[in-house]
Amino acid sequence: MSKKHPPLLSLSHVEKSFRISGKHVPILKNISLDLQQGEWIGLMGNSGSGKTTLLSLIAGIIRPDHGEVFWKGKKLWYFFDIYPAFLRNREMGFIFQDFRLVEEESVWENLLLPLRIKGWYGKEELQRALWLLERVGLQDHRSHPSGLLSGGQKQRLALARALVLRPSLVLADEPFANLDEHTAEEMMELFLSLRKEENFAMILVHHRKKLSNSCDKTYHLENGRLHPV
């Protein structure tokens, strides 16, 4: 009998609160969630519902007050931030609503940023970066300052940058919020195409119900709790 693999990511009864105006305000309440390799989960919720907090907790940027987070069956320890930082630099890709590009640097330099943070890269990594640049249609903009790109082009660059390290998990925090409907649909088609080739898992925070059709599961975060949609 083959041994069953643990989920890529698992949250068990996770809770998180913040001190606001002298009071502890609960943001996440008893969150439990399993994410399998290659699985896409959509995450919806009103502004301020805790979606970004949940992504930050998964990435190990903040730690839960209660509960546990597991990565491939191994508990995520937060001492000295060594293990969470290792995962962020090796296993996770990030796409932000505001792109977070270094706008004075070129498209190519922005694309290589995760490799520079990792500390080393070689011919294979550079070839992959070139391939991704072509896949997102920015090969002719390689030397352009990223600050001069259109919103759609910036989002394409952010997508390529998130995948340059071959991550197991992509955390996408409302990546289409600043795009018009047509450009958002084009970006989603690009996501789906790359998913077939890469088989990465993703947690996609979004506000467009139509995007739920592309996810394996969708949850709504309300009053600190996850509800299946």
How many Cβ atoms sit within 10 Å of the Cβ of residue 23? 8
pLDDT value of position 79 = 65
Name the strand (E) or helix (H) holding 159.
helix 151-163
140 dihedral zone (left: phi>0; alpha: psi -120 to 50; beta): alpha
pLDDT at 97 over 80: yes
Strand arrangement of the beta sheet that strand 23-35 belongs to: 23-35, 9-20, 66-71, 74-75
Q: What is the mean pLDDT of residues 152-164?
A: 93
pLDDT at 102 over 90: yes
pLDDT at 80 over 80: no
pLDDT value of position 141 = 97
CA distances from 36 to 18, 94, 138, 205 (A): 29, 18, 31, 17
Average pLDDT, the chain: 91
> Residues 37-56: pLDDT tens digits?
999 999 999 988 999 999 99
